[in-house]
A = this chain, B = another copy of it.
Amino acid sequence: MLAGGVGGARFLLGLRAAAPEARISVVGNTGDDVTLFGLRICPDLDTLMYTLGGGIDSDRGWGRTDESFTVRAELAAYGDARTWFGLGDRDLSTHLLRTEWLGHGIGLAEVTRRLCGRWQPGVELLPMTEAPVETHVALADGRRVHFQEWWIRLRAAIPATAFTLRGADAAVPAPGVLAALEAADLVLLPPSNPVVSIGTILTVPGIRDAVAAKPVVGLSPIVGGAPVRGMADACLAAMGVATTAQAVGRHYGADLLDGWLVDSVDADAQVPDVAVRAVPLLMHDLAATTAMARAALDLAAELTAGAGAQRAR
């Protein structure tokens, strides 16, 4: 599975429940990563790790449960203006260890593995790359800012005109990523942001081809013309993609997708040369999320059987 933050993490809870025997590898987006206060912060990897490890603040969707913000308040008392970033005290320990290990020359894949030693996410969690890539956003007012600044500080209120993954040219997939994709029976695209999460992962040279070589089933993050969570509409607008389940399916396209799951309200969506199925796509609770994951696995099984039948024909 490829995954961004909250949407991918919640879907994984359902996938783990739907396929308890499956060996699941997750390639996480690192385009949102940012260096703040000298700390290397990987929001999506941490959201995945905390969610699967039972440490997430489920209401907020990000950060640690029972979180406090003492350090942030003290930084503000020093006059630091970067307190728009939600740096919690518990969360901080993760960034401290990660930054220290990276500083010792340990790669982000191994760093993530060590951090997961505490959280036991039950999946193999891999960064998409160990290169220090960062998504930057070109704004309608001419500025270029780090994705986190646009997303959190500006709340995506200023329209974006383009997204660039800085450092992507020199990036290679992190150790384990291509091997996991090659070993996969199936690649799932969860209802993560199709532009700045899934789209960013696919920007890393080599990953798109490795994904496209496998049966791929995606789940729409757009339900009834609006993002289920977050501000995917603001990202899609910059790409000239409508905020509909059909448009996102066509944006991924048949080059990438074999199956596309949309919500029941979007049952009329059509994507050329892609099998579209409609099921409830709201992750209200674990039962609903597990049913979604099962529907994705069922669609994949159906397509694989069909492909086998086609080959047999």
By a beta-carbon cutoff of 8 Å, the part of chain A in contact with chain B is 37-39, 68, 70-71, 74-75, 77-80, 89-90, 92-94, 96-97, 99-100, 103, 115, 117-118
Residues of B within 8 A of A78 (CB): 93-94, 97, 115, 118
Contacts of A99 in B (CB 8 A): 38
A70: nearest chain-B partner, CB-CB: B89
Within 8 Å CB of A75, what residues of B?
Answer: 93, 96-97
Number of copies: 2
Q: Given the complex of chains A and B, what is the CA–CA distance between A100 and B39 in angstroms?
A: 8
* A93, B93: Cα distance in complex, Å: 13
B118 and A79: CB pair below 8 A?
yes
Question: How far is B39's CA from A234's CA once the two chains are assembled, in angstroms?
Answer: 38
Distance, CA A100 to CA B118, complexed state (A): 27
Chain A interface mostly = helix
Chain B residues within 8 Å of A39, by CB? 96
Instruction: Report how far A270 CA is from B80 CA in the complex, Å.
Output: 53
B118 touches A90 (CB 8 A): no
Chain B residues contacting A68 (CB-CB under 8 Å) are 68, 70, 89
| A36 nearest in chain B by CB position | B100
CA distance A77 to B78 in the complex (A): 29
Q: Which residue of B lies closest to A68 (CB)?
A: B70
A170 to chain B, nearest CB (A): 22
| A100-B70 CB under 8 A given contacts A78-B93, A79-B118, A89-B89 | no
Q: Which residues of B contact A92 (CB under 8 A)?
A: 71, 74, 92
